[in-house]
Amino acid sequence: MSDDSPALSHLEGDGERSRMVDVGQKPVTRRTARARARVRFPAGLLERVLAGDGPKGPIEEVARAAGILAAKRTGELIPMCHPLGLDHVELRFERGPDDALEIVCAVSCEGRTGVEMEAMTGAALAALTVYDMTKALSKGIAIESVELLEKTGGKSGDWKRDG
């Protein structure tokens, strides 16, 4: 790591010990984040899936419930994440280019730490649920990406992915 690189906040001492960051002195502020997961389907298959013609029926509501539950339980799934009382979780499903289903998870709360991991966890688990519900149709279905799109609030300020 170069001298101008920021330190990793979840490591202490010689960098060999993990730690949960103490956020007790940070001010409570409005925090939001949006993340996206992309599930790619073999040509022509997404249309069938979106019509509810998959082996396990309509996928959106089951995947939506899974994503909301995952976002709410992120602190139990990722060891150094703080448990947060989320004010809102929303998942949207959009047909993307080239037979891709894009799942966008938006999360917000009033808190001392950001909600980026909650948004990414919600999108990721919704994508895994889509895969589980459609895998019998093709082994070629792939979860291609999980990425933060934007976040607001906190010490580091607002951030938005280019493009």
> For residue 37, what is the domain's CATH number?
3.30.70.640
Residue 49 forms part of a structural domain: yes
Residue carrying the six token digits 């060999």 = 16
- Which residue in the list 4, 99, 132, 158 is annotated as catalytic? 132
**Can 4 be counted among the known catalytic residues?**
no
Predicted pLDDT of residue 15 = 60
Q: pLDDT by residue (tens digit) across 53-77?
A: 666 767 999 999 999 999 999 999 9
Query: Do the strands 29-40 and 88-96 form a parallel or antiparallel pair, or are they unpaired?
Result: unpaired
Are 155 and 47 spatial neighbours (Cβ–Cβ below 8 Å)? no
pLDDT tens digits, 121-138: 999 999 999 999 999 999
Task: State the pLDDT at residue 2.
Answer: 46
Percent of residues, the chain, with pLDDT higher than 70: 86
Domain-located, residue 6:
no
Write down the pLDDT at residue 1. 43
Out of 23-32, 39-48, 54-63, the most confident range is: 39-48
Residue 34 within any structural domain of the chain: yes
Confidence of residue 23 (pLDDT cuts 50, 70, 90): confident
Task: Report CA torsion sign: 119, 124, 126, 127.
Answer: positive
The total of structural domains in the chain comes to 1
- Enumerate residues 6+ apart whose C-beta is below 8 A from 127: 37, 38, 39, 63, 103, 143, 146
- pLDDT, residue 162, reads 93
Instruction: Pick the closest to residue 9 from 116, 139, 101, 129 (CA basis).
Output: 116
Structure tokens at 141: 């279905």
Q: What is the mean pLDDT of the chain?
A: 88
Single-letter amino acid code for the residue at 143: I
**Percentage with pLDDT > 90 across the chain:** 63
Per the domain annotation, does 132 fall within a domain?
A: yes
Is residue 19 pLDDT above 70, yes or no?
no
For residue 124 the two structure tokens come to 């990721």
In a domain, 109, yes or no: yes
Q: Which range of residues forms the domain containing residue 121?
A: 27-152
In a domain, 42, yes or no: yes
What pLDDT is attached to residue 104?
98
Q: Is residue 122 part of a domain?
A: yes
16 within some domain? no
Helix axes 60-72, 116-134, angle to 10 degrees: 150
